Structure 1
Amino acid sequence: MPASTLKSTARPRKSRTRSRNISPRPALALSSLKPHQYDLHPYCASLICPDCKTWVPITGLNAKKQKLVPHDTGVAGKDPAVRCQGSNRLISVDVLVKEWQGQMETGGPEANGRRSARQHYKPLPAPAKPVTKMAPEPETADDALTAYREHLKKCRNSNAAGHCGGTHRCADGTRLAKLYEQLKRAEPIRQREARVDALLARHRSTRAWAAHSEATANAKTTAKRSGTTVEEANNSCRIRKADTVSDYRGPQVPLKPIRIGA
């Protein structure tokens, strides 16, 4: 008859067993375990097996001898059937049920109180300086050098911790020194860019003025472009007639008084 190809898997653990087999290993005392490592309730008496580190039922809790039920090390129906060495091991119940319940009840609030319920707020940032007290950032190397020298005079005379002295510089002194070095290194580039911008602006203004002069050179063209007779008359050069204010804007206006009447 051919052998079965199915491999045996771990069997489910029973809450009690009628096996009379007893492990030759010494009895396991419950007092050697921690209160959370065993359960003495009559309906679910069990403990964590020291060998396979899994929960195993205790059979015969009300009998003369208590022992662990036979069990496998793996998960039932999945892992291979490997019998644990702690199977059928005698258990020495040397802990009272009331004492164990008291330890569990006391340990619950202690575990809950280990984490503080107090809210820890982050420190508030320091308020920013008002605009009137803010010093403008130097834009040129000369301004940065002047600000650095003024800072050294004030900082050396102060008694603040970490003030400038000798070769030591405080945070503000170091910042101003670095700013001076950066501005001094970039000063030639900034001056060259300023000259280029000035030349471009002058070139643009020259081209714009030349285009304007060319467009307004012919008076009639300018007047026609405006589209009004008054502008055409104002742009043309004519000799004003005698005894009149202007002959461009309406009829002739006499200068001498005129009497109207019978």
Structure 2
Amino acid sequence: MPASTLERTARPRRSRTRSRNSNPRPALVISTLKPHQYDLRPACASLICPDCKTWVPITGIQAKKHKLVPHDTGRAGKDAAVRCQGSNRLVNVDVAFEVWQKRLEEGGAETDGRRSARQRYKPLPAQAKPVTKMTPAPMNADDALTAYREHLKKCRTSRVASRCGGTHRCADGARLAALYEQLMRTQKYRDRERRKDSRVDALLTRHRSAKGKKNAAATWAEQHQTTDAPKKALAKRSGTEVEEANNTCRIRRAGTVSDYRGRHVPTEPLHITA
């Protein structure tokens, strides 16, 4: 018995077919589709099938009779071979190629330059409280307790509906009470950290002071050695006559003026006779 030749996967879609079969359904009018749903270029004339929503070639695009090629609903070689009901359906191409291309370009330009007209405003930040009304947060339990008692005195005498009274506390009173309880619970830990930081600061100060004294002593010793060095070693370019004259202190003779190079210049005018 010969083996079955039934194809089980979708067949590739040809660009042109020689079948004379036509779908009895009414012809599909191109003008009813959107410009991006069909392609009228002769090299790849095709459209999106309304039944299977896939691109299908149009056969006979340059002839008088146009129709969709036979095609399956799935991808070729992967999905099941299920024939689409839109196969061999006649197509009425009532849109010129130039008109379609112009519509496509105008639609692309309009889409690229389009943006949302809805404006989104950022929320405005809350206005900061004036400096005169700002109260520093208490740093220890005693300050927190004092602030809590002062708040109770002011709040109980006020006429606010949610003022402190009896066991009831307003928002500020509850916050100060919670702060006082937290500071009381963590006071010993903060004291321990403060003592540790003071000890570390004292050690660092002592180390920096000792290091500064050592560096100062080394600098003074270096300067002392430089001062005791021979005079020739002080010259920038030792060995020259000018440098040696600059670094030598000579005794000025009586009745002369000595410049920095050691030359003796007379103080009285000289009369030179030929």
Structure-1-length-normalised TM-score: 0.54
Q: In the alignment, which residue of structure 2 is the partner of 1:8?
A: 8
Q: In the alignment, which residue of structure 2 is the partner of 1:144?
A: 147
What is the CA-CA distance between 1:186 and the residue it aligns to?
5.4
Q: In the alignment, which residue of structure 2 is the partner of 1:71?
A: 71
Q: In the alignment, which residue of structure 2 is the partner of 1:166?
A: 161
Q: In the alignment, which residue of structure 1 is the partner of 2:25?
A: 25
Q: In the alignment, which residue of structure 2 is the partner of 1:236?
A: none
1:58 aligned partner, one-letter code? I
What is the CA-CA distance between 1:85 and the residue it aligns to?
0.6
Could you tell me how far apart the structure 1 residues matched to 2:92 and 2:105 are? 23
Q: In the alignment, which residue of structure 2 is the partner of 1:99?
A: 99
Unmatched 5+ stretches in structure 1:
157-163, 202-262
Name the CA shift for 1:165/1:76 in 2 (closer, same or farther; >3 Å).
same
1:144 aligned partner, one-letter code? A
What is the CA-CA distance between 1:177 and the residue it aligns to?
2.5
DSSP-derived class of the 1:142 partner:
helix
Q: In the alignment, which residue of structure 2 is the partner of 1:113?
A: 113
Q: In the alignment, which residue of structure 2 is the partner of 1:40?
A: 40
CA RMSD across the alignment: 4.2
Q: How does 1:1-262 map to 2 (within 5 A)?
A: 1-4=1-4, 7-115=7-115, 135-138=135-138, 139-140=140-141, 141-145=144-148, 148=151, 165-167=160-162, 176-183=172-179, 185=181
What is the CA-CA distance between 1:121 and the residue it aligns to?
11
What is the CA-CA distance between 1:44 and the residue it aligns to?
1.0
Partner deviation per Cα, 1:45-91 (whole Å, 9 max, x = no partner): 10000111100001111211110011111111122221111000011
Could you tell me how far apart the structure 2 residues matched to 1:12 and 1:190 are? 78
Assess if the C-alpha contact under 8 Å between 2:148 and 2:177 holds in 1.
Answer: no
Could you tell me how far apart the structure 1 residues matched to 2:112 and 2:172 are? 54
Could you tell me how far apart the structure 2 residues matched to 1:129 and 1:49 are? 66
Could you tell me how far apart the structure 2 residues matched to 1:37 and 1:168 are? 70
What is the CA-CA distance between 1:127 and the residue it aligns to?
11
1:136 aligned partner, one-letter code? P
What is the CA-CA distance between 1:29 and the residue it aligns to?
0.9
Name the CA shift for 1:60/1:188 in 2 (closer, same or farther; >3 Å).
closer
Could you tell me how far apart the structure 2 residues matched to 1:17 and 1:168 are? 90
How much identity, in percent, do the aligned residues show? 60
Name the CA shift for 1:112/1:149 in 2 (closer, same or farther; >3 Å).
farther
What is the CA-CA distance between 1:150 and the residue it aligns to?
9.2
How many correspondences in the alignment? 181
Could you tell me how far apart the structure 2 residues matched to 1:150 and 1:96 are? 89
1:166 aligned partner, one-letter code? A
Could you tell me how far apart the structure 2 residues matched to 1:104 and 1:149 are? 76
DSSP-derived class of the 1:63 partner:
coil
DSSP-derived class of the 2:17 partner:
coil
Unmatched 5+ stretches in structure 2:
196-274
Name the CA shift for 1:82/1:179 in 2 (closer, same or farther; >3 Å).
same
Deviates further, 179-188 or 101-110: 179-188
What is the CA-CA distance between 1:133 and the residue it aligns to?
8.8
DSSP-derived class of the 1:43 partner:
helix
Structure-2-length-normalised TM-score: 0.52
Could you tell me how far apart the structure 2 residues matched to 1:180 and 1:129 are? 19
What is the CA-CA distance between 1:103 and the residue it aligns to?
1.2
What is the CA-CA distance between 1:122 and the residue it aligns to?
7.5
Name the CA shift for 1:83/1:152 in 2 (closer, same or farther; >3 Å).
same
1:63 aligned partner, one-letter code? A
DSSP-derived class of the 2:104 partner:
helix
